């Protein structure tokens, strides 16, 4: 039945119809009608302190729930602040919808208030980016945004909402539930059998999955797929690619693989564009939601690409699992070797200690390790930078969020708030460096205001250490300049914003500080004075063969 409604109400109702329960937002002139309309819905508006934080929260929501997170910001400067955070979501195949207010259509091109070519600005970072043009079809616009965000390779979608369209009343037909959901592209049986035949013929096949599989369900599917096909299966989601220290000594496994199957994982810089050390005649197979990614790989890998097929990651994995029995050998020794290498960490890490008053990062994560392992529901968030790389290497949790292929720093505090929105009970830890802490530290106030407790473990080495190390490596020890920070009391920042703060200068004090931070029930910052240590190096980078 068609009814007449205000545009803002059409949008907010459509969000409810999409299954959205929370909107991460920062208010502004162009979207006050949406705030008003939200009062008539059950939508919970989480009001943040900077627009990029809202997008990062939507990103984390999408990764943890598999349904698009929603960020809502005002037009012009609000939109301009929000857009950069799409970069991280895009790199990580994370489904989200960014709704931005926009100047009135009647003012476009006339120097209107906060006028900006918003759709064009977001376009390079979004799967789709457009401005709504009619009040009547706003519900369809929202449905389309959700559909695109979760279809094929998931990712961020942007929709600009001109204020006059939101204020106007218009007849609108309800949007059907099916309009929000994308059709899945299955892997056909013949295509699945062709990949399985390649796997069967290989001596040491290996599957590398893209970041959309870095979910709990994704890791369960990969474990099943690996067992069914007799091949190791890992997710590659780090900007450090095959040099990711999270992979332990796995480079040695990659170097021995004679067939590498990429599942929703582009052949890109993380895989050295296909030029990885390996046996002569190594072949590649790809299953990817995007034909353009396959075409690009065909140009890079040429004849080495033995198989390429368009299909969505999760249904493709399920089809392969269903059709694998009887088609491959278990390769128990090969899989055991891969698992051993993946979890191989130098014994020396257990003895690393810092000098007086400064902990080595390994000491920090030795203390955190049993706490993270204690609850299988723990959400572990690791940012970029050297300190956090130690965390990524030494901690294991079934629910882990990292900055991802985009390699941006700064999202971990917003991620922690969103993780607490998703996870009501289990511990949420964010691991980040002191430089990174500055990006979104004001979100401690949001977390306090909204009672969203988590524990941030901050490694304060008074340095942008990752960049410092690059300066030393590339330009010489005497040319390390401009990467210094102060030994700031970030714990007091958290406390001043209403959270809990702990300062740690001795390893013995760390377990108690972590326990108090968790018991406080508040957003907490455990500020650990560390010595600058370069990120752990990849082990066993073998020369091939
Ligand atoms: C948005 C963004 N800006 C800059 C960088 C470059 N960058 C990567 S790591 C890093 C240093 C991080 O410093 P800190 O958080 O203190 O961690 P540390 O390396 O010192 O442990 C910088 C500046 C980036 N990756 N992303
Ligand atoms: Mg630092």
Task: Report pLDDT for 541.
Answer: 41
Specify the higher pLDDT residue, 18 or 543.
Answer: 18
Which of these, 487, 439, 430, 484, lies nearest to 458 by C-alpha position?
430
The whole-angstrom separation of Cα 465 and Cα 33 is 45
340 phi, psi to nearest 5 deg: -65, -40
Ligand 1 center to 372 CA (angstroms): 24
CA distance 73 to 159: 11
Long-range CB contacts for residues 484-491, cutoff 8 Å, separation at least 24: 485/434, 485/435, 486/462, 487/460, 487/462, 487/529, 488/434, 488/460, 488/462, 489/527, 490/434, 490/437, 490/441, 490/458, 490/460, 490/525, 490/527, 491/458, 491/525, 491/526, 491/527
Nearest-CA residue for atom 26 of ligand 1:
408
Would you state the pLDDT for residue 156? 98
Return the pLDDT at 543. Answer: 28
Give the number of whichever ligand sits closest to the CA of residue 482: 1
Q: Which residues face 7 on adjacent strands? A: none
Dist. CA 469 → ligand 2 center (Å):
11
Nearest C-alpha to atom 8 of ligand 1 is from which residue?
Answer: 385
Residue nearest to atom 25 of ligand 1 (CA): 408
Spacing of C-alpha 487 from chain mean position = 29
Closest residue to atom 16 of ligand 1, CA basis: 435
**Token pair belonging to 385:** 């930078």
Q: What is the dihedral of CA 274, 278, 280, 286, to 10 degrees?
A: -40
For ligand 2, the distance from its centroid to the CA atom of residue 528, given in whole angstroms, is 11
Alpha carbon of 472 to ligand 1 centroid (Å): 15
**How many angstroms separate the Cα of 302 from the Cα of each of 281, 443, 472?**
12, 48, 38
Biggest CA pair distance of the chain: 73
- The average confidence (pLDDT) of the chain is 95
End-to-end C-alpha distance for the chain, whole angstroms: 67
Structure tokens at 444: 């401690």
- 3-state DSSP call for residue 36? helix
Q: Which ligand is nearest to the CA of 407?
A: 1
Give the per-residue pLDDT at 539: 54
Say whether 169 sits in a helix, a strand or coil: strand
Place of tokens 């990524």: 392
Helices 51-65, 412-422: inter-axial angle, 10-degree rounding: 50
Q: Tens of pLDDT along 67-111?
A: 999 999 999 999 999 999 999 999 999 999 999 999 999 999 999
The atom of ligand 1 lying closest to the CA of 466 is 19
* H or E segment and range at residue 432: strand 428-433
> Span 15-32, mean pLDDT?
97
Cα of 461 vs centre of ligand 2, distance in Å, is 5
**Atom number, ligand 1, closest to the C-alpha of residue 437:** 15
**How high is the pLDDT of residue 359?**
98
Ligand 1 geometric centre to CA of 417 (Å): 21
435, 437, 460: which to mutate for ligand 1, most atoms within 8 A of CB? 435
Structure tokens at 56: 């990062």
Count of positions (residues) in the chain: 545
User: Listing from the earlier edge strand, what are the strands of the sheet with 500-504?
Assistant: 399-402, 379-382, 428-433, 455-460, 524-529, 500-504
- At residue 115 the predicted structure's pLDDT band, cuts being 50, 70 and 90, is very high
How many CB atoms within 10 Å of residue 207?
27
pLDDT at 245 over 90: no
pLDDT at res. 538:
63
Centre of ligand 1 from the C-alpha of residue 386, in Å:
8
Contact 213, 263 (CB under 8 A): yes
Coarse DSSP helix, strand, coil percentages of the chain, rounded to the nearest 5 percent: 45, 20, 35
Q: How far apart are CA 100 and CA 112, in angstroms?
A: 16
Reported as a single tens digit per residue, the pLDDT across 225-240 is: 999 999 999 999 999 8
Angstrom distance (rounded) from CA 334 to CA 110:
66
Q: Which atom of ligand 1 is nearest to the CA of 84?
A: 1
How many whole angstroms from 464 Cα to the centroid of ligand 1? 6
Given a cut of 60, whether residue 545 has pLDDT beyond it is: no
> In a mutational test of the pocket of ligand 1, which residue from 390, 431, 465, 482 has the highest number of ligand atoms less than 8 Å from its CB?
465
Cα–Cα dist 492/514, whole Å: 16
Q: Are 519 and 542 in contact (CB under 8 A)?
A: no
Q: Best of 239, 354, 409, 462 to mutate for ligand 1, by most ligand atoms within 8 A of CB?
A: 409
- Mean per-residue pLDDT, 290-302: 95
Residues 6+ apart with CB under 8 A from 102: 30, 75, 79, 118, 131, 160, 161, 162, 163
Nearest-CA residue for ligand 1 atom 9 is 385
This prediction has a pTM of 0.97
CA of 455 to the centre of ligand 2 (A): 18
Q: Residue 388: nearest ligand to its CA? A: 1
Pocket test for ligand 1, best of 430, 464, 490, 531 (most atoms within 8 A of CB): 464
Place of tokens 């964010």: 430
- What average pLDDT score do residues 381-393 get? 97
**pLDDT tens digits, 474-502:** 999 888 888 999 999 999 999 999 999 99
pLDDT of residue 272: 94
| Ligand 1 site, CB within 6 A | 384-387, 407-410, 433-436, 459, 461, 463-467
As a whole number of angstroms, the distance between CA 364 and CA 455 comes to 14
Specify the pLDDT at position 356. Answer: 87
Band of pLDDT at residue 271, cut at 50, 70 and 90: very high
CA angle 535, 540, 542 (to 5 degrees): 125
Closest ligand to Cα 384: 1
Distance 459 CA to ligand 2 centre (A): 7
């Amino acid at each position: 039945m068609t009814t007449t409604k205000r545009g803002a109400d059409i949008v907010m109702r459509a969000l409810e119809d999409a299954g959205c329960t929370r909107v991460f937002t920062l208010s502004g002139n162009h979207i006050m009608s949406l705030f008003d309309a939200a009062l008539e819905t059950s939508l919970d508006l989480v009001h943040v302190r900077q627009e990029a934080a809202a997008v990062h929260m939507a990103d984390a929501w999408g990764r943890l729930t598999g349904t698009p997170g929603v960020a809502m910001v005002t037009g012009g400067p609000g939109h301009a602040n929000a857009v950069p955070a799409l970069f991280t979501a895009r790199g990580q195949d994370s489904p989200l919808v960014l709704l931005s207010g926009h100047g009135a259509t009647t003012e476009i091109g006339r120097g209107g208030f906060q006028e900006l070519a918003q759709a064009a600005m977001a376009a390079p970072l979004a799967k789709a980016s457009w401005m709504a043009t009619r009040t009547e079809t706003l519900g369809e616009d929202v449905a389309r945004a959700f559909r695109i965000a979760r279809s094929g390779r998931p990712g961020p979608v942007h929709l600009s909402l001109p204020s006059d369209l939101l204020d106007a009343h218009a007849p609108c037909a309800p949007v059907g539930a099916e309009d929000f959901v994308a059709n899945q592209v299955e892997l056909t049986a013949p295509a699945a059998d062709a990949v399985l035949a390649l796997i069967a013929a290989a001596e040491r096949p290996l599957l590398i999955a893209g970041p959309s599989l870095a979910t709990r369900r994704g890791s369960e599917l990969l474990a099943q797929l690996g067992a069914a096909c007799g091949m190791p299966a890992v997710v590659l989601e780090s900007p450090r690619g095959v040099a990711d220290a999270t992979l332990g000594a796995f480079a040695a496994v990659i170097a021995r693989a004679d067939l590498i199957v990429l599942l929703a994982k582009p052949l890109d810089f993380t895989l050295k564009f296909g030029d990885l050390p390996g046996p002569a005649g190594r072949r590649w197979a790809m299953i990817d939601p995007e034909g353009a990614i396959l075409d690009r790989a065909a140009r890079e890998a040429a004849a080495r690409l033995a198989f390429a097929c368009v299909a969505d990651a999760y249904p493709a994995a399920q089809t392969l699992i269903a059709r694998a029995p009887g088609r491959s050998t278990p390769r128990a020794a090969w899989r055991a070797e891969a698992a051993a290498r993946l979890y191989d960490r130098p014994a020396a890490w257990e003895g690393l200690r810092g000098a007086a008053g400064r902990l080595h990062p390994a000491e920090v994560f030795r203390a955190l390790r049993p706490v993270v392992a204690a609850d299988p529901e723990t959400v572990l968030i690791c940012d970029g930078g050297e300190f956090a790389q130690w965390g990524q290497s030494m901690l294991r949790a079934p629910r882990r969020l990292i900055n991802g292929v985009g390699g941006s720093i700064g999202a971990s505090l917003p991620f922690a708030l969103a993780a607490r929105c998703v996870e009501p009970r289990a511990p949420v830890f964010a691991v980040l460096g002191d430089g990174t802490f500055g990006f979104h530290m004001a979100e401690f106030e949001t977390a306090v205001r909204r009672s969203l407790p988590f524990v941030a473990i901050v490694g304060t080495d008074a340095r942008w250490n990752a960049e410092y190390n690059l300066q030393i490596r590339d330009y010489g020890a005497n040319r390390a300049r401009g990467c210094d920070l102060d030994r700031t009391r970030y714990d007091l920042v958290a406390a001043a914003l209403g959270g809990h703060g702990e300062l740690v200068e001795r390893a013995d004090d760390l377990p108690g500080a972590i326990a108090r931070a968790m018991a406080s029930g508040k957003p907490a910052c455990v500020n650990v004075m560390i010595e600058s240590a370069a990120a752990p190096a990849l082990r066993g980078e073998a020369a091939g063969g």
